[in-house]
Structure 1
Amino acid sequence: MMSFRVALICLSLGLLSACAIQTPATSPASPLSAQERFGDRPGVTVLAATPAAAVQGQTLYVPVYSEIFDSEANRTFQLTVTLSLRNSDRRQPITITTLDYYNSGGDRLVTYLDAPIQLAPLASTEVVVDRTNTAGGVGANFVVTWQSAAPVSAPVIEAVMISTASQQGLSFVSPARIIEELQP
């Protein structure tokens, strides 16, 4: 644990995040139900079942980086990942049926949905992987499946990675890639 004197020096210099002792987690976040995770978010409805009459949809692969290499191959820099899910359609909702997080080895670490969620027109939501959670590794990714009961403009699904320490900052965006189109 950090001593009070070191903490006071860091605080007075405005460097508390840089001086904090960091112990990266090696396991994914504890499982929450879709209702617990998304139930109170505006524009998001947790559904009892997946709507049957889908006319449009896709499965998307979103590369994310919970850590990246920093100056040498055996040294990594941890990042916070925000997966942003945005319904860009102004009239119709979309339904997210799959939202899974995988590590560099292709192992599913977290299934975020035990029930589908519906995003209202122009609504958005997110999932955050804390920077101390390095279980995903440098090749982590999300697989997201969405569908709609009417033709819609494709949602905007992308990941934002960020980390700041002291006066250093790093951020970048990674867009989703279509890996499968829904065949109604």
Structure 2
Amino acid sequence: MSEKISRFLAIAAMIVLSACTSSTTTPQGQGDQTSANQAQQVILDENSKIVTGQTLYVPVYSYIYHDDQKRLFNLATTLSIRNTDLANPIIITCVRYYDSEGQLVQQYLENPIQLAALASTDFFISTSDNTGGLGANFIVDWVAQTNVSEPIIEAVMIGTGFQQGISYISPAKVIQNQTNYTCSSAP
């Protein structure tokens, strides 16, 4: 009888273990790419009706200091833009990344993109890219052709090393209202 139980347990274990397969997928924003290329591009012109919009400042950190400012702790950054409106799209007109001195490092969009209701997109900066410095930031412009609820725009920074890991979120701050379909003026 114990032989039957042992066989049954062995077969059951093989079935359970064979069902536990590891699946590796590549996240959408990996490798300094952006999932924005999967969002719908839109063509706006001076006749496009814009009802509301904002320019937002999002503080990010390429690294932080530790060990009495003698060592750098590099961080990966994901800028997340989420349309919170239940029914209407928003249009992201600009996403620009600036370094600690206020110099433009990268402009992420060639053309505006539209985010459907409740859709989101992200932009990624890898851990090895610390060109932004301690005072890096994103400037994000969005508009809508109807009244919408404001999107949630925030940066998520994460780093692992020295037998520790840290992560935190940095929310966006509105710096001006936007009623134009073009990028806000900035250096």
For the aligned pair, the TM-score class normalised by the smaller chain equals 0.7 to 0.9
1:38 aligns with 2:25: no
Instruction: Name the residue aligned to 1:120.
Output: 116
Deviation at residue 178 of structure 1 after TM alignment: 0.4
- 2:74 aligned with 1:83: no
Residue of structure 1 in register with 2:127 after alignment: 131
Q: Which runs of 4+ in 1 moved over 4 A?
A: none
Partner of 1:67: 63
1:116 maps to a residue whose letter is P
**What letter corresponds to residue 166 of structure 2 in structure 1?**
L
Equivalent residue of 2:118, what SS?
A: coil
Structure 2 gap ranges (5+) = 1-30, 181-187
- TM-score if structure 2 supplies the norm length? 0.74
**How much has 1:168 moved relative to structure 2?**
1.5
Question: How far, CA to CA, are the matches of 2:54 and 2:86 in structure 1?
Answer: 19
Task: Compare CA radii of gyration and give the structure with the larger one.
Answer: 2
Give, in angstroms, the shift of residue 166 of structure 1.
6.5
1:148 aligned to 2:144?
yes
Asked if 1:159 corresponds to 2:155, the answer is: yes
Q: What is the TM-score with the length of structure 1 in the denominator? A: 0.75
Is 1:48 the equivalent of 2:43? yes
Aligned-residue sequence identity (percent) comes to: 44
Give the count of matched residue pairs.
149
Instruction: List per-residue Cα deviations over 1:35-93 (Å, max 9, x = no partner).
Output: x8633x3xx20123357211010000000011011122242110000000000001000
Secondary structure of 1:72 counterpart: coil
